[in-house]
Structure 1
Amino acid sequence: MHTLQRTNSANNDFIELVKQLDADLATKDGDDHAFYNQFNGIDAIKHVVVAYENGEAIGCGAIKAFDNEAMEVKRMFVSPTHRGKRIATAVLAELEKWAAELSFKRCVLETGKRQADAVQLYQKNGYHVIPNYGQYAGVENSICFSKSIE
């Protein structure tokens, strides 16, 4: 059984999980990691969800304002030993609920095409592919998604 906690980017458990995420992405993204990493700072993110199991932080995700109508989902991660338990789906659903409570109408996100598990997660949770936005426009390995949360 896992529990979810709403917090912010100053949360020490979130900071530790992000370190694991960055190490995982450095391996998967290879030579592209430096490009993506520049967009993944966690300074002053006000909306973070951390998943716990028996008091241990096992997963996380965050949202930050993208524009007046959308929140961008960032820093989604579940520790490898806890994958396959629908934790990422629970974190994502809580982030979407929080965004809706803040009167946003949709969530957007970017992931890498090499992140097959992430692509599958977003598709099974109702996200659809959109043209790459912002800094990801024209980036071959990026895939962007959107979901209405109204």
Structure 2
Amino acid sequence: MDDRPSGRGRPGTAPPADRRPRRADRRAHTPRPGRYTYDFGDDWRHTITIEATAAADPAMDYPRYIDGARRAPPEDVGGLPGFELFLEAIADPSHEEHDELMRWHGAPFDPALIDEDVIRARIEKLARRRAIGKAAFAKSRGQIN
């Protein structure tokens, strides 16, 4: 029989509650950039930097879209090298792949244009779904009527 206290010395187990960092302690430090890979085939690597934090407004739904820059690349463009070729070819009507890539994409592409109204609407939809989910969870726990 193992007489060690639960959670100590066992791989994959959480440290005891008295040894875990408290939520307030985790929030107190400066956030580090987060990294993730989108579309493993094209290997888009993203770094997300938190520039500032503020107290949440309880009357507002989250997440929120604040600002953006530049348009996302088309799906399956071929990662960074493919996107660079795509931008070069569509910007130059005399480029040997211009016509083919314009047909492939199906419309002109301006990397500087960002459709913030569409982005904002999608983020607001996520926020509404999150608010509904939070309310349903609270109701299931008897926290609201």
Q: TM bucket by the smaller chain?
A: under 0.3
Relative to its length, the structure with more strand (as a share) is 1
Give me the TM-score of the superposition, normalised by structure 2: 0.25
Give me the TM-score of the superposition, normalised by structure 1: 0.24
